[in-house]
Structure 1
Amino acid sequence: MSILIRDLRPDDLRDVESVVRVRRAALPFLITSAGDLTFELSSAHPAKHHRVLVAETPDGEVLGTAQAGIAHDSPRPGQGYVNAYVDPARRGIGAGRLLLRTAEEHLAAQGAVDSYAWVLDEPAHRAFAERHGYRPGRSGHFLRLDLAAAELPALPDALPAGVELLPAEAFAADPRPLFAIDAEATADEPSDVGADLDDYQDWLNHTWHHPSLDKTLTIVALVDGRAVAFSAARTDGATRYGSAMTGTLRAFRGRGLAKLAKNASLHRARAAGYTEAFTGNDSGNEPMLAINRWFGYEICATETHFTRRLGTQWPSN
């Protein structure tokens, strides 16, 4: 079958919705929408060289998609990423291979020396990655909570002395304190690539202004008036809620502040009508996994971070 690889047409709603359909079918644990996808392109930092590729048949049927670019905020230069998704009903006809080759060519042209990809921990997916020269690294879990039926921990009758919980919308005039928490928490997250958040304007562009960030459900913990922890929430505006990041400044860890913020966020999400909650954790991030188990989350899928050194010959099979 002849397959065409091209860039997403962000102004074509039908094209955008086709890519969203494929992403949802291939990875149903992520919250994604047409608005998220167009924002992903429009807000990307220029140094990211971000592209969304589309695989389609000559008659216009979208078979798969890939996102590729440079991890410009990594402390190690030359780190590229590619995540390819193929409609489960259309696997095995070569769309994934063509998407991967095109993405790697783009990464190499932008100076990348390594290509990283998240791969579902299923035999067919792992075999595809290894067949194309990728080798496994860290793993991570997707977790799901039946928010409609879960017995969430009770909200405390009173907060500890000096502690206050506020929605993120209270920081609309100046969200820089949340950037400070995010930067410190991100730097300490287990990762093969790592990230240094040091560009406040870029953070505003792609995180604070993200269309799925719900600033009423994102809860911030303050100690003596200082923002020190938060639990960020993204939603699809209908039934699905996702934890985007939960973190605490180093000096305030071990006091249960992130747990307080996340519990308040989950209670608010259920009251707002959300019925499913999703999150993701590195398999070595035991503190956050323990918090999520306490809430009742269960692992629903696992993925592995695979990498390939670019510039080496592509396998011939």
Structure 2
Amino acid sequence: MTQTTPVRVRDLRHDDPEDAAAAAETRRAALPFMLVTPELLAWEAEHSPAEAHYRLLVAELDGAVVGTARTGLFFDSPEPGKAYCNLYVHPDATGRGAGSALLAAAEGHLAGLGARSVYTWALDDGHSVAWAGRRGYEPRRKARFLRLDLAVLPPETAPPAGIELRTVADFAADPRPLYELDAAVSLDEPGEVEREPIPYEDWLAAHWERPGLDRDLSVVAVDGGTPVAFSLARTDGRGRYMSAMTGALRDWRGRGLARLVKNRSLHLAREAGCVEAFTGNDAGNGPMLAVNRWFGYGPAADEWHCVRELG
């Protein structure tokens, strides 16, 4: 009789660099279109807002990390009881129970917090959506990962009259104007879960101080001293760049500012040694998808946002 090795699920040891490195490598193998570093995983586990009840779970087989799960509450949703569980299993370890064990542990954690709806992402890879479906998760909304080779970029153009381009690093002494811009632009970001702006102090902790945010490569369009458009960049020290958010205030849309700030950010990234760029868009976000097609982004993968009602 063949004996199956049991899966061990535990919390990430955020004060153990080797544990964080193993978890990061597993997640990178499972989802190579997202940027992740050991420093980011350790920081998320230690500094996420208390209201999120965030946990980073790790699955082990034969003493090796083979999967992780990010789970917690959408504390910034106006509708209580919404939660998330995002699973990542190393491709070499699929089919051995790590994903099921992580999901069971995460759902138990969330049920204990009173969660009613649990959202997860499933790659449209021919089996992940079906795997989630067998566990009660219904696909709701599609999103797309895109990739760009930074060797070829459109030429930069001069800003419109009255518009000045700065970097996020220029706002280090007082980032509140960027918080206000981010809060306004995020209200129009399409998605399955409605979100509300978080308080400034929470934004500082969750976004401004987040490892990987590259302030020197993130670009802001300023009109008369007021930030009106931005493109935030994340990097991983491996030559990879990820667009975190690109957008403009409603009254400044239709002027090409989103394209302008993102183009400048991509050029800065190439100058800094980055070789490839990734981004993710909701499939219904036509304007941003059109901007990214203009840059030359090509498809990397699709995924579905799925939900299960815990009842």
**1:1-317 matches, cutoff 5 A:** 1-57=5-61, 59-148=62-151, 150=152, 152-156=153-157, 158-311=158-311
Tell me which amino acid in the other structure corresponds to 1:192: E
3-state SS of 1:83 partner: strand
CA offset digits 1:122-147 (Å, max 9, x no partner): 22101110000110101100000011
Unaligned residue ranges in structure 2 (runs of 5+): none
CA offset digits 1:164-202 (Å, max 9, x no partner): 000111101111111111111211111111211131111
CA offset digits 1:31-53 (Å, max 9, x no partner): 10011111112221100000011
Percent identity among equivalent residues?
53
Separation in 2 of the partners of 1:9 and 1:161? 52
Shift of the alpha carbon at 1:226? 1.1
Separation in 2 of the partners of 1:253 and 1:3? 50
Separation in 2 of the partners of 1:284 and 1:76? 22
Separation in 2 of the partners of 1:159 and 1:81? 40
Separation in 1 of the partners of 2:131 and 2:198? 36
Give the structure-1-normalised TM-score.
Answer: 0.95
Shift of the alpha carbon at 1:12? 1.3
Separation in 2 of the partners of 1:76 and 1:154? 44
Give the structure-2-normalised TM-score.
Answer: 0.97
CA contact (8 A) 1:116 1:305 kept: yes
Shift of the alpha carbon at 1:237? 2.0
Unaligned residue ranges in structure 1 (runs of 5+): 312-317
CA contact (8 A) 1:217 1:268 kept: yes
3-state SS of 2:159 partner: coil
Tell me which amino acid in the other structure corresponds to 2:6: S
Identify the residue that residue 314 of structure 1 maps to in structure 2: none
Tell me which amino acid in the other structure corresponds to 1:106: H
Tell me which amino acid in the other structure corresponds to 2:266: L
3-state SS of 2:191 partner: coil
Separation in 1 of the partners of 2:297 and 2:204? 30
3-state SS of 1:117 partner: strand
Separation in 1 of the partners of 2:269 and 2:60? 37
Separation in 1 of the partners of 2:67 and 2:77? 27
CA contact (8 A) 1:70 1:80 kept: yes
Separation in 2 of the partners of 1:239 and 1:208? 22
3-state SS of 1:263 partner: helix
CA contact (8 A) 1:164 1:221 kept: yes
Separation in 1 of the partners of 2:53 and 2:226? 36
CA contact (8 A) 1:65 1:99 kept: yes
Tell me which amino acid in the other structure corresponds to 1:186: S
Separation in 2 of the partners of 1:205 and 1:135? 33
Separation in 1 of the partners of 2:237 and 2:21? 16
Tell me which amino acid in the other structure corresponds to 1:142: F
CA offset digits 1:1-33 (Å, max 9, x no partner): 211111111111111111111100000000100
Greater CA deviation, 92-101 or 189-198?
189-198
CA contact (8 A) 1:181 1:247 kept: no
Tell me which amino acid in the other structure corresponds to 2:54: H
Shift of the alpha carbon at 1:238? 3.0
CA contact (8 A) 1:143 1:280 kept: yes
CA contact (8 A) 1:8 1:16 kept: yes
CA contact (8 A) 1:178 1:227 kept: yes
Aligned residues: 307
Identify the residue that residue 315 of structure 1 maps to in structure 2: none
Q: Following TM superposition, where does structure 1 have runs of at least 4 consecutive aligned residues deviating by more than 2 angstroms? A: none
CA offset digits 1:148-167 (Å, max 9, x no partner): 2x2x22112x3211100001
